Homo-oligomer: A and B are copies of this chain.
Amino acid sequence: MDKNFLQTLLIDVAEGRLTPEEASDKLKTLPYEDMDFAKIDTHRALRTGRGEVIFGIGKTPGQVAAIMKRMSSDTSPVIATKVGPEYYEAAKAEIPEGLEYHEQAKLLVYKTEPSPLSCTPAAGVAVVCAGTADIPIAEEAAVTAELYGTSVTRYYDVGVAGIHRLMDKIEDIRNADAIVVVAGMEGALSSVVGGLVDAPVIAVPTSIGYGASMGGLAALLAMLNSCSLGVSVVNIDNGFGAGYLASLIVKGKE
């Protein structure tokens, strides 16, 4: 709970601007907003510094639009993940301004300008992906990190089958404060990058592949067993989670 909020409220009571009953009601409920089908965690921005994110899978376009509209009144940015263009259409009908849709990344965003998130221009995230087919997930990570005020550099299609493409870029990649590595199939790229850099590596297995790739499970297992140090893993195709985490890691780095 935000101490400033608490003290303001208690001073209001002490100075008679609020009755104890009114304050009690305010205090008893940590702020969230109860919609018919969702409880919006409006307190989250205070608690963790960032607003809640709308996970799109299993929600209708109408539900996402309604939640986004309600949140847009006091949060920026508001992000919905894993949503198709029909969600953008539904949201536009509700929120006339400030929306943007990232098609490859499948991210729907409401944003006021200027962004309230503090930028850290000196620090940055490298997003590295193995193949062209992994780009949508890489973009999900890159756009997310940018939305949280992080500077991002992209290194795409540098998989280990032609490792000189990676080697050519490795000096630049080493400058990043956090590195997101996106790869499907055998997921070897995170181990190779992890052995060459000193920054934390967030590995994102993708579902790209067929047969024994088992929907990304092969890449996931490989990344979890990385022999390189400093590598951790998020869920298959979870570009958003990787971008979010990367922006957390670089926050406060000089």
Interface of A toward B, CB cutoff 8 Å: 1-3, 6-7, 10-11, 13-14, 16, 19-21, 23-24, 27-33, 35-44, 47-50, 52-53, 55, 57-59, 63, 67, 82, 130-135, 156-165, 167-171, 177, 184-188, 191-192, 194-200, 202, 205, 207-238, 241-242, 244-245, 248-249, 252-254
Contacts and interface: CB of A to CB of B under 8 A. Distances in A.
A3 B23 CA distance: 11
Contact of A241 (B162, B218, B231, B241): B231
A38 B164 contact: yes
Given A218-B224, A233-B233, 13 more contacts: A10-B24, A10-B27, A31-B164, A48-B198, A49-B198, A58-B208, A161-B229, A188-B222, A192-B192, A210-B237, A211-B215, A217-B221, A224-B236
Copies of this chain in the oligomer? 8
8 contacts: A6-B24, A28-B171, A29-B171, A160-B191, A186-B187, A186-B224, A219-B225, A232-B232
